[in-house]
Structure 1
């Protein structure tokens, strides 16, 4: 079942293989696959700041609001994907990681053994980071 950034896989597909789920490449205005992952009896959720944003004087403002400041987050993290037994928990964690940014999100995920894939904008293009 997929409801917009969140999905839950149960069992195997018709060929008795793991479900194959695409993680979207985080580029505004495009719909391309970044990579495909296996999903076995668990949930997956992705959050990102590459679709919903606005720009003022060439500065981008994300739709993710930092709860401590009340302002849009200002970092290079574009997408956070989290694998978890519970899709709702995966969704909450993906949103949290978008607030924290790459370094804090990876630290949080590694300390708690949370499987996450983060995609960040660098001066040389997109770069993937993983907690596993």
Structure 2
């Protein structure tokens, strides 16, 4: 008799803990994915800025930035292609990414704003 009560208590405890553990795991997956996408897009923005600082060709720099991130959505927007003499070029990329879980703020998508800075070559 006592064993069956203990088994029931364990089932109730398990049922209370599983949703919290599942939320924690999904939160880790979401955070890791968002952090990874932000990091990769920041690198792509730097690659585009560096390419523009050398060649002064916005289309080629954008292509170099896209090549640096093979998962970049086609709708990602590049901005900031200007290189003042002796200054820096700052390229920004704004991209709408798909969420791996869709359970957190923003729903199925989230926006990543990336920035890359490179010194202008003379």
- If the length of structure 1 is used for normalisation, what is the TM-score? 0.23
Higher share of residues assigned strand: 1
Instruction: Please say which structure displays the higher CA radius of gyration.
Output: 2
Q: What TM-score does the superposition give when structure 2 sets the normalisation length?
A: 0.24
Q: Relative CO higher for 1 or 2, CA cutoff 8 Å, sep ≥ 6?
A: 2
- Decide which structure has greater helix share: 2
